[in-house]
Structure 1
């Protein structure tokens, strides 16, 4: 008879805290995911999008935050949390009138944006999008600087994501939930 299978230990927040600060650490379903912060093209797309969305980040509008830690209850373990670090997130100020004092946010955002790299695409597209849907995030964008695309997704009442559109290259457009401003996608792609 073979040996009994060794029970896999769930990762904890202490495991996340032990990751070097130059890495991004996330907990999803008790698994620790460690990735690089991203290459300069990634940082450029993220920063440029933050600038493009800047006019929305004011009283009466939105909170737009760069890389905050989000904590959501882990349904597979009531004592644990999924800890995600999206590249950019936004909350309507009517839903979150003040920023929390904690080092993390527990309220699901209205919008998330993750910038894809070759090494993070599967994590962000599969695991993280699943958690965002479960938590009721209404809008999600996936930006790919390599392909020069911005995918806009909206959450359906069924809990599934619907691709609203894939926008390419130098388009100037208005995308939900930020139809109030025109985005210049050319600003996101390093020249």
Structure 2
């Protein structure tokens, strides 16, 4: 008779803290994911999108304001499969309506789920972003999620339904000029995200 398979140890936040600072680490359902820093096209698409949204929504310049929109915030959510443990996710961008979070926390992380998240996809992160992080964002009640693919030149927009499931993606491509929830107050020229 064969030996029973050894149960794999769940990673903890201490494992995440031990990751070198030149890497991006996330803790998802007890699994530690470690990625290289974003490649140039990934970083540029994220920076440009953040720049386009921060002025009108975070600073209120030429737009309605009313948001906090930080780059790469660390999010902490209780892991329902392991009491006392957390899921620690780092989206490329996230946004909180000021009415829900009047002041930024003093901690190095956010415990309140954002209203909006954006993941910029890359070959090394896409499966984790889609298959592991998106269900957690839905579970935590994040209302809007955007997936940006700088190689395919696409913006996928998801809205959370009453049943805490993502509705079908609305996909915008290439040089489309779009008004997209929750930031429909301004028009986004997607070609800016892909410019070389």
**Corresponding position: 1:110 with 2:111:** no
Unaligned runs of 5+ in 1: none
Higher strand share: 1
Determine which of 149, 153, 171 is the counterpart of 1:144.
Answer: 149
Mapping 1:86-97, distance limit 5 Å? 86-97=91-102
Residues in 2 aligned to 1:7 and 1:151: alpha-carbon distance in whole angstroms: 37
Q: Any gaps of 5 or more consecutive residues in structure 2?
A: none
The aligned residue for residue 57 of structure 1 is: 58
Offset of 1:50 from its aligned partner? 0.7
CA contact (8 A) 1:88 1:114 kept: yes
Deviation of 1:37 after TM superposition, in Å, equals 1.8
Q: Distance in 1 between matches of 2:2 and 2:41?
A: 50
Measure, in 1, the Cα distance between the counterparts of 2:167 and 2:92: 21
Q: Secondary structure at the match of 1:25?
A: strand
TM-score by length of 2: 0.94
Q: Which runs of 4+ in 1 moved over 2 A?
A: 1-5
2: distance between equivalents of 1:73 and 1:175?
A: 30
Aligned to 2:35: 35
CA drift of 1:118 comes to 0.9
2:186 pairs with one of 174, 181, 187: 181
Partner in structure 2 of residue 3 of structure 1? 3
* Structure-2 residue corresponding to 1:14: 14
Matched, 1:161 2:166: yes
Asked if structure 2 preserves the Cα contact closer than 8 Å seen for 1:151 and 1:163, the reply is: no
Q: CA deviation at 1:164?
A: 4.4
Q: Any idea what SS the aligned residue of 1:72 has?
A: strand
Following the alignment from structure 2 to structure 1, what is the Cα–Cα distance between the partners of residues 185 and 194?
22
Q: CA deviation at 1:2?
A: 2.3
Mapped partners of 1:66, 1:38: distance in 2: 13
Moved more, 55-64 or 164-173: 55-64
Between the aligned partners of 1:43 and 1:190, the Cα distance in structure 2 is 12
- 1:118-177 CA-partner distances (Å, limit 9, x unpaired): 111110011000100000000000000000000000001111111341011111111000
Q: Is the 8 A contact 1:52 1:184 kept in 2?
A: no
Distance 1:91 1:76 in 2: 26
